[in-house]
């Protein structure tokens, strides 16, 4: 109930912001249709201008190539002259969306190191010198940024944890957008942010194609419950266990795949994870039919033996005893453009009792 009310308030705020943002002689003709996303809007104005409003209150007006900004726009609106090139992207999921619509050539700066990328096109761009690492988002090389002078940047909301960096970007005259997709409730809403980047980069048709293809994959499953329960968690290198909250988008992905999250009642209004003691986790999730172990910085197990070495109690879980322990691939959290395919993989896992299906893209079974 609280989430629904919050969503309505956010939607109302976006509409009100848009209504007061127009300059002289500039009117909204239509708006981008969104199926699930609630944290951004795109309003199409006459003359090819687009007004983008984000749920954090920031607004952006894209100016068509060769056109000038209209008179009288409000001071808080960031003006972006199209086409956008030489931009900085400090979010791997956002980069995956931009790559999926064929606009990676617009990106020239990243805060993710080469050896941590799993997107081959990104690594190829770095090999070719088209994409440059400028330091981590917490401590970017400001001299490099000042020299490159990107006209636009996209960061995850993690930038809010380092306000000094945000202030320095403003000082350097680098406008930035905070991607709010992690605040979306529905998994496909996260992916629907591809439409925002399509609008920014002149790839709207491609963005619709990418989104629709994944939405159709999810629809093809039919969302029928298999009655199978699943635990989803990871253990850090220091032995701390973190399970997904009941309100997390991965729990929703599992539901769309036909599964039941065994910890659905744990923080049902929250996304992200909750640290748990192993004894309590076993009491709550020990009888789950399946385990999805989430690859993390703590490493990923290659075998059931590797898995049980993380904590001896793991061997007591029903899923372990029945050989139903699965692990996500390392690129699972780096890629947002194939969330539908990830949900299909979950459904295959849940319905593959005779193991006739062997092709999985984002999950693998521990033996």
Q: Give residue-wise pLDDT tens across range 93-125.
A: 999 999 999 999 999 999 999 999 999 999 999
Residue with tokens 């395919």: 341
pTM of the model: 0.90
Q: How far apart are the first and last CA of the chain?
A: 42
Same fold, 11-215 and 222-365: yes
What's the CATH number of domain 11-215, 3.40.50.800, 3.40.50.1980, 3.20.20.70, 1.10.150.120?
3.40.50.1980
Name the CATH topology of 222-365: Rossmann fold (3.40.50)
Q: Note the pLDDT of residue 219.
A: 95
- Ordered by start, the domain boundaries in the chain are 11-215, 222-365
The answer to whether the beta carbons of residues 108 and 62 sit under 8 Å apart is no
Query: How far apart (Å, rounded) are the C-alpha atoms in residues 307 and 292?
Result: 11
DSSP category for residue 17: H
Query: How far apart (Å, rounded) are the C-alpha atoms in residues 366 and 327?
Result: 7
The answer to whether the beta carbons of residues 293 and 281 sit under 8 Å apart is no
The answer to whether the beta carbons of residues 231 and 319 sit under 8 Å apart is yes
- Regions of the chain with pLDDT less than 70: 1-25, 297-298
Tokens of 300: 């990923």
Please report the sign of the dihedral spanned by the C-alpha atoms of residue 91, residue 211, residue 87, residue 160: negative
Cβ-proximal residues to 301 (8 Å cutoff; 6+ apart), any chain: 293, 307, 309, 310, 327, 366
Of the candidates 353, 332, 342, 321, which has an alpha carbon nearest to the alpha carbon of residue 228? 353
Tokens of 143: 């001299």
Helices (H) and strands (E) in the chain, counts: 13, 17
The answer to whether the beta carbons of residues 205 and 199 sit under 8 Å apart is no
The answer to whether the beta carbons of residues 224 and 253 sit under 8 Å apart is no
Q: Note the pLDDT of residue 19.
A: 45
Q: Note the pLDDT of residue 263.
A: 98
Residue with tokens 């440059």: 132
Of the candidates 138, 133, 135, which has an alpha carbon nearest to the alpha carbon of residue 163? 138
Dihedral of CA atoms 296, 299, 300, 302 in degrees, nearest 10, equals 170
Three-state secondary structure call for residue 236: coil
Q: Output phi, psi for 113, to 5 deg.
A: -70, 155
Q: Note the pLDDT of residue 29.
A: 93
Query: How far apart (Å, rounded) are the C-alpha atoms in residues 189 and 204?
Result: 16
Q: Note the pLDDT of residue 358.
A: 82
Of the candidates 269, 266, 259, which has an alpha carbon nearest to the alpha carbon of residue 347? 259
Query: How far apart (Å, rounded) are the C-alpha atoms in residues 24 and 22?
Result: 7
CA–CA distances in Å: residue 332 to residues 64, 125, 234, 363, 367 = 36, 21, 13, 9, 20
Query: How far apart (Å, rounded) are the C-alpha atoms in residues 332 and 95?
Result: 14
Burial 239-258 (b: 16+ CB within 10 A, else e): eebbbbbbbbbbbbbbbbbb
Tokens of 227: 């009655």
Q: Output phi, psi for 235, to 5 deg.
A: -125, 130
DSSP category for residue 313: G
**Helix, strand, coil proportions of the chain in percent (round to 5)?**
40, 20, 40
Of the candidates 79, 104, 72, 36, which has an alpha carbon nearest to the alpha carbon of residue 252? 36
- Residue 103 CB-half CA count within 13 A: 29
The answer to whether the beta carbons of residues 154 and 87 sit under 8 Å apart is yes
Per-residue pLDDT tens over the stretch 11-31: 555 544 444 456 666 789 999
């Amino acid at each position: 109930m609280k989430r629904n009310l919050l969503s309505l308030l956010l939607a109302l705020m976006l509409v009100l912001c848009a209504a007061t943002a127009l300059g002289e002689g500039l009117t909204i003709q239509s708006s981008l249709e969104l199926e699930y996303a609630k944290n951004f809007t795109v309003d199409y104005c006459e003359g090819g201008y687009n007004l983008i409003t984000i749920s954090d209150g920031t607004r952006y007006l894209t100016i068509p190539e060769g056109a000038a900004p209209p008179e009288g726009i409000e001071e808080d609106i960031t003006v972006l002259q199209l086409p956008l090139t030489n931009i900085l992207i400090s979010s791997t999921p956002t980069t995956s969306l931009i790559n999926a619509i064929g606009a990676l050539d617009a990106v020239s700066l990243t805060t993710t190191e080469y050896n941590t990328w799993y997107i081959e096109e990104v690594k190829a761009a770095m090999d070719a010198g088209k994409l440059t690492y400028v330091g981590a988002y917490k401590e970017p090389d400001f001299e490099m940024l000042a020299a490159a002078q990107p006209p636009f940047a996209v960061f995850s909301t993690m930038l809010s944890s380092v306000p000094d960096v945000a202030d320095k970007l403003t000082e350097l005259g680098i406008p930035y957008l905070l991607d709010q997709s992690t605040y979306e409730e529905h998994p496909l809403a996260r992916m629907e942010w591809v439409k925002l980047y399509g609008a920014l980069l002149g790839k709207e048709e491609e963005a619709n194609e990418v989104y629709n293809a994944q939405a159709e994959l999810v629809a093809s499953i039919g969302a029928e419950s298999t009655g199978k329960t699943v635990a989803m968690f990871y253990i850090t290198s220091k032995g701390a266990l973190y399970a997904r909250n009941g309100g997390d988008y991965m729990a929703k992905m599992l539901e769309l795949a036909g599964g039941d999250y065994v910890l659905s009642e744990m923080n049902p209004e929250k996304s992200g994870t909750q640290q748990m003691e192993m004894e309590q986790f076993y009491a709550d999730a020990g009888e789950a039919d399946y385990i999805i172990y989430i690859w993390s910085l703590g490493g990923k197990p290659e075998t059931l033996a590797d898995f049980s070495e993380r904590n001896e109690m793991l061997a007591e879980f029903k899923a372990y005893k029945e050989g139903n322990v699965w692990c996500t691939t390392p690129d699972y959290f780096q890629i947002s453009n194939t969330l539908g395919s990830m949900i299909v993989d979950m459904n295959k896992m849940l319905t593959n009792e005779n193991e006739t299906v062997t092709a999985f893209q984002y999950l693998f079974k521990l033996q």
